[in-house]
Amino acid sequence: MPIGKQSLWISLLVLLPLLGFTGYRIALSLRGRAQYQEARQALERRDFPLASLHLKNYLELFPNDPDALLLAAQTARRGGEYYEATQYLESYVQNRGRKEAVELEHQLLHLQRGDLTEASKLLASCIEHPDGADTPLILEALLKGSTTALERGYAAEVSFEEGAGARDMAVARRAAELWLDRRTGREDRVQGLVWRGLIRLFARDHEA
């Protein structure tokens, strides 16, 4: 075999695995990007189970992506999957996640389940920063948590006109106002109207 052809074959043998690996990485990246985009679109529709599924698929390809881990933790929490949210949050910490984001998620995990200890402080943050990146997440957790707390109070015949009951009612009403004022998407507005209706129902039935 002539030296020139031999060199060409050697070059091809060296390049083919490299080209194959490069093609594989590109295909992997495109697949992952598609899963991530599908998750974002599902979140816009407030379809948390579907968004979680797409994020799970993405993280199977890129398990150490801190942004995706945080989004998966937030999505699981928003969908009420608290154990799963905690697991994703732990993985986020292990991948050098931002301390502030971890602290906020822990606060929202407690808040969303009806622990309103820090509700007033978080509501004040939303009022001060209405266009903040975290404000929608905080308001959503406030509304879910406060309606849960109001439902418990209603069942226990707690007064919503004084003490902790009045505070919880005030937080819920203000959070609903802010949500409906800032959120313009159809699904978000429908959900906001549902929350506001629940709050008014608890207040009206209690007064009656």
pLDDT tens digits along 29-74:
557 799 999 999 999 999 999 999 999 999 999 999 999 999 999 9
**The pLDDT of residue 12 is above 70:** no
Q: What is the C-alpha separation between 114 and 95, in angstroms, rounded?
A: 29
Q: Cβ of 4: how many Cβ atoms within 10 Å?
A: 8
Q: What is the C-alpha separation between 179 and 46, in angstroms, rounded?
A: 15
Average pLDDT over residues 70-85: 98
The pLDDT of residue 136: 97
Average pLDDT over residues 184-198: 96
- Among 75-89, 112-126, 149-163, the range scoring the smallest mean pLDDT is 149-163
The pLDDT of residue 31: 77
**The pLDDT of residue 146 is above 70:** yes
Q: What is the C-alpha separation between 177 and 91, in angstroms, rounded?
A: 35
Q: Which of 177, 167, 168 is nearest to 127 (CA)?
A: 177
Compute the mean pLDDT over every residue in the chain, rounded to the nearest whole number.
Answer: 88
Q: What is the C-alpha separation between 188 and 186, in angstroms, rounded?
A: 5
Q: Cβ of 115: how many Cβ atoms within 10 Å?
A: 14
Q: What is the C-alpha separation between 86 and 81, in angstroms, rounded?
A: 9
The pLDDT of residue 162: 84
Average pLDDT over residues 87-95: 98
Average pLDDT over residues 144-164: 88
The pLDDT of residue 83: 98
- Among 17-26, 63-72, 144-153, 181-190, the range scoring the smallest mean pLDDT is 17-26
